[in-house]
C-alpha cells in the first residue's frame, strides 16, 4: 500500500480502554495501520467500533477514564530536513512536545463543530490563537492569515466572518471555520472525524469537494473517518475497516470495493447508501444482521463471529484470527476468507 511514499504515522497494536465502574470498555483493542505522507486513508466501520477513540489516541486527547494501555503511535516528524520518529503514546498529553504536534502538525476536524469552537471568542480570534501559538506571528499578521485561511476554505465575506461568533454561522460555515482553523498551521496530517455527518446533502458535497481541493493544494495526509462508504469511495485512496476496536480489513479503495474479503466489509458494502442519502442510518443497520456486541463483553474468537454468515463453529468462536496479507497491501483478519484467498 503506497510503499513508495514516506511513512507518516504507524499505529501498532493500539489499545485504548475506558475503565468504568461497570467494567472495562475495550474501545480500541489492537488496531494497526499506517498513514503515508500525502495519503488519504479512510477509516470505516459502524458506530461504536472505535474510530473516534483511535483518532483521539493519535492526538493524545482521550478523555478520562480512558487511557492508551498498550501499543505505539510512531509519528515520523520532519525537523530541519531530518526525520525523527516519536512514539506519541509515550508523551504526556500536556507536554510541550505533544502540544507542539497537536494542532500544528496533526490537526483534527470534528463532526460537531459547536463542541470544538468556542462560543465566547470570535472565529478570527480562535484561528489567530492557533496561528500565534504555533507560528509566532504577531497579531496583525495572524489576523491577515486568518482571513486568508477563511478565503481558502471558501467562506463568504471572510473579512466580516472573522469578527463573528460560531453561533452566528450556519452548520456548513462552522465546519468551514473548523477546517480553516485546522489547516492554519499546515498540518502534515488532518484527521477528519465524520466532518459532514451533521450537514445537509448539498453542504456535505461542498465540504467534501473543498477537502479534496485543499489536499491537492497543501499536500497533507488525511485520515478520513466515516461510517459512509459512499464518502470513502469519493475521498480516499486506502481504507481500513474497523470492527470492535480492531482493523479487520485493509486495502486500496478499488480492491476494497471490488474484492472485499471480510464478511463484515461485504455486509457494509451491501448497505452503501447513495451519497448524502439521509436514511443511511436505517439502511446500514438493516442490512447487517445482529447487533454490535456489548462492549463490556466482547465475544471470544473473532469478535464478528456472532453476526457472521460464514463462521466455522469450533474455529471462529474459539480462536482470534490474525491479520494476514493476502495480496500486496491487502490484509484481512478472518479465518475463513483469508484461507480462501491464500
Ligand atoms: N468517554 C467515553 N467513556 C466511556 N466509553 C467511551 C467513551 N468514548 C467512547 N467510548 C466507548 O468506546 C467505544 C468506541 O467509541 P468510538 O470510538 O466513539 O466509536 P466510533 O467513533 O467508531 O463510533 C464505544 O463502545 C464507546 O461507547
Ligand atoms: Mg465517532
Tell me the pLDDT tens digit for each residue of 292-315: 777 777 889 999 999 998 999 999
Task: Report the nearest-CA residue for atom 17 of ligand 1.
Answer: 50
Residue 20 φ/ψ, nearest 5 degrees:
-110, 165
Q: How many helices (H) and strands (E) does the chain have?
A: 13, 12
Q: How far is the CA of 50 from the centre of ligand 2 (A)?
A: 7
Q: How far is the CA of 246 from the centre of ligand 1 (A)?
A: 13
Distance CA 41, CA 59 (A): 16
**pLDDT score recorded for residue 287:** 54
Residue in 236, 232, 113, 129 with CA at minimum distance from that of residue 174: 113
**pLDDT score recorded for residue 2:** 46
Distance CA 222, CA 162 (A): 26
For the ranges 87-91, 107-111, 285-289, the lowest mean pLDDT is seen at: 285-289
HSE value, Cβ hemisphere, 13 Å, CA-based, for 151: 7
Measured from the Cα of 194, ligand 1's closest atom is 21
**pLDDT score recorded for residue 166:** 93
Q: How far is the CA of 227 from the centre of ligand 1 (A)?
A: 14
- Tens digit of pLDDT for each residue in 131-163? 888 888 899 999 999 999 999 888 999 999 999
Q: How far is the CA of 51 from the centre of ligand 2 (A)?
A: 5
Q: How far is the CA of 338 from the centre of ligand 1 (A)?
A: 29
Query: Count of residues for the chain?
Result: 342
- Taking the CA of 51 as reference, the closest ligand is 1
**pLDDT score recorded for residue 283:** 47
Task: Report the nearest-CA residue for atom 13 of ligand 1.
Answer: 27
Burial of 68 (0-12, 13-18, 19+ CB in 10 A): buried
Pocket test for ligand 1, best of 46, 53, 59, 193 (most atoms within 8 A of CB): 53
**pLDDT score recorded for residue 294:** 76
Q: Read out DSSP for 202-245?
A: HHHHHHHHHHHHHHHHH--EEEEEES-HHHHHHH-SEEEEEETT
**pLDDT score recorded for residue 273:** 56
Task: Report the nearest-CA residue for atom 4 of ligand 1.
Answer: 18
- Taking the CA of 244 as reference, the closest ligand is 1
pLDDT bucket at 106, cuts 50 / 70 / 90:
very high
For the ranges 126-140, 220-234, 285-299, the lowest mean pLDDT is seen at: 285-299
Residue 68 φ/ψ, nearest 5 degrees:
-80, 120
Burial of 2 (0-12, 13-18, 19+ CB in 10 A): middle
Residue list, ligand 1 pocket, CB within 6 Å: 18, 25, 27, 45, 47-53, 63, 66, 295
- Taking the CA of 65 as reference, the closest ligand is 1
Helices (H), 95-239: 96-101, 113-116, 123-135, 139-152, 158-161, 171-183, 201-218, 229-235
Task: Report the nearest-CA residue for atom 6 of ligand 1.
Answer: 18
Distance CA 69, CA 29 (A): 10
Q: How far is the CA of 44 from the centre of ligand 2 (A)?
A: 10
Q: How far is the CA of 53 from the centre of ligand 1 (A)?
A: 6
- Taking the CA of 44 as reference, the closest ligand is 1
Residues, CB within 5 angstroms of ligand 2 (ion): 51-52
Measuring CA to CA, how many Å separate 153 from each of 77, 146, 180, 181, 208? 26, 11, 6, 10, 11
- Tens digit of pLDDT for each residue in 31-58? 999 999 999 999 999 989 999 999 999 9
Q: How far is the CA of 132 from the centre of ligand 2 (A)?
A: 30
**pLDDT score recorded for residue 208:** 87
CATH fold label, 7-105+187-341: Rossmann fold (3.40.50)
- Taking the CA of 110 as reference, the closest ligand is 2
Q: What's the order of all strands across the beta sheet hosting 23-36? A: 23-36, 7-20, 66-79, 82-87
Measured from the Cα of 64, ligand 1's closest atom is 1
Would the pLDDT of 291 be above 80? Answer: no
**pLDDT score recorded for residue 131:** 87
Average pLDDT in the chain: 89
Residue in 262, 192, 184, 198 with CA at minimum distance from that of residue 232: 192
**pLDDT score recorded for residue 272:** 67
**pLDDT score recorded for residue 110:** 86
Amino acid at each position: 500500500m503506497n510503499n513508495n511514499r514516506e511513512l507518516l504515522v504507524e499505529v501498532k497494536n493500539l489499545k485504548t480502554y475506558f475503565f468504568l465502574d461497570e467494567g472495562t470498555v475495550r474501545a480500541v483493542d489492537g488496531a494497526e495501520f499506517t498513514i503515508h505522507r500525502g495519503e488519504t486513508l479512510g477509516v470505516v466501520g459502524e458506530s461504536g467500533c472505535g474510530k473516534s477513540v483511535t483518532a483521539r489516541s493519535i492526538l493524545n486527547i482521550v478523555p478520562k477514564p480512558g487511557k492508551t494501555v498498550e501499543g505505539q503511535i510512531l509519528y515520523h516528524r520532519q525537523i530541519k530536513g531530518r526525520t525523527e520518529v516519536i512514539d506519541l503514546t509515550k508523551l504526556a498529553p500536556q507536554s510541550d512536545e505533544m502540544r507542539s504536534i497537536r494542532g500544528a502538525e496533526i490537526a483534527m476536524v470534528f463532526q460537531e463543530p459547536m463542541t470544538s469552537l468556542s462560543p465566547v471568542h470570535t472565529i478570527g480570534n480562535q484561528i489567530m490563537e492557533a496561528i500565534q501559538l504555533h507560528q509566532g506571528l504577531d497579531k496583525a499578521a495572524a489576523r491577515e492569515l486568518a482571513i486568508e485561511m477563511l478565503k481558502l476554505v471558501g467562506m463568504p465575506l471572510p473579512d466580516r466572518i472573522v469578527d463573528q461568533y460560531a453561533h452566528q454561522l450556519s452548520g456548513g460555515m462552522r465546519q468551514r471555520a473548523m477546517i480553516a482553523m485546522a489547516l492554519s498551521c499546515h498540518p502534515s496530517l488532518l484527521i477528519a472525524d465524520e466532518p459532514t455527518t451533521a450537514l445537509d446533502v448539498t453542504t456535505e458535497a461542498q465540504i467534501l469537494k473543498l477537502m479534496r481541493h485543499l489536499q491537492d493544494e497543501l499536500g497533507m495526509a488525511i485520515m478520513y473517518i466515516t461510517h459512509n462508504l459512499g464518502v470513502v469511495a469519493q475521498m480516499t485512496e486506502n481504507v481500513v475497516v474497523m470492527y470492535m476496536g480492531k482493523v479487520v480489513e485493509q486495502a486500496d479503495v478499488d480492491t476494497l470495493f471490488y474484492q472485499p474479503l471480510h464478511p463484515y466489509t461485504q455486509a457494509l458494502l451491501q448497505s452503501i447508501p447513495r451519497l448524502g442519502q439521509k436514511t443511511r442510518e436505517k439502511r446500514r443497520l438493516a442490512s447487517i444482521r445482529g447487533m454490535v456486541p456489548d462492549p463490556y463483553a466482547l465475544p471470544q474468537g473473532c469478535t464478528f463471529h456472532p453476526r457472521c454468515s460464514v463462521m466455522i463453529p469450533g474455529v471462529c468462536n474459539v480462536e482470534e484470527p490474525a491479520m494476514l496479507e493476502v495480496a500486496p497491501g491487502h490484509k484481512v483478519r478472518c479465518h475463513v476468507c483469508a484461507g480462501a484467498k491464500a
